[in-house]
Amino acid sequence: EVQLVESGGGLVQPGGSLRLSCAASGFILSEHYMDWVRQAPGKGLEWVGRTRNRAQNYITEYAASVNGRFTVSRDDSKSSLYLQMNSLKIEDTAIYYCVVWMSMVGSWGQGTLVTVSS
């Protein structure tokens, strides 16, 4: 069974940094695309970033709103996906979800809350 468990969320001041983790099980991480998606309070879903699979050289892609501040990475040996968030802004406050794409079929984690506030 595919399982994704996010962690690392919390309260951080504007300008600060935070690293989120997504522990994956039930599949081989290196074979699949992985996304981060976020949802601000009371708002819709926003795609944040992607790391493609090993076959596609782990190419990363980002939304314009986070490009240059956020970095998606993975450690296949630990079956883990990461989101390094730097220069955080108040508008980055959201629940952050990781998503795995397996043969174009997605599965979601349960999310972790990030609050950026002074």
Retrieve residue 85's tokens: 């968030």
Retrieve residue 94's tokens: 């959201």
Per-residue string for binding with another protein, 31-50, x by CB under 8 A? ----x-x------xxxx--x
Single out the residue of 5, 8, 9, 62 in contact with another protein (rule: CB under 8 A): 62
3 binds another protein per the rule CB under 8 A: no
CA distance 42 to 19: 23
Residue 38 CB: number of other CB atoms within 10 A? 23
Q: Residue numbers of the site for another protein (CB under 8 A)?
A: 35, 37, 44-47, 50, 61-64, 97, 101, 104-111
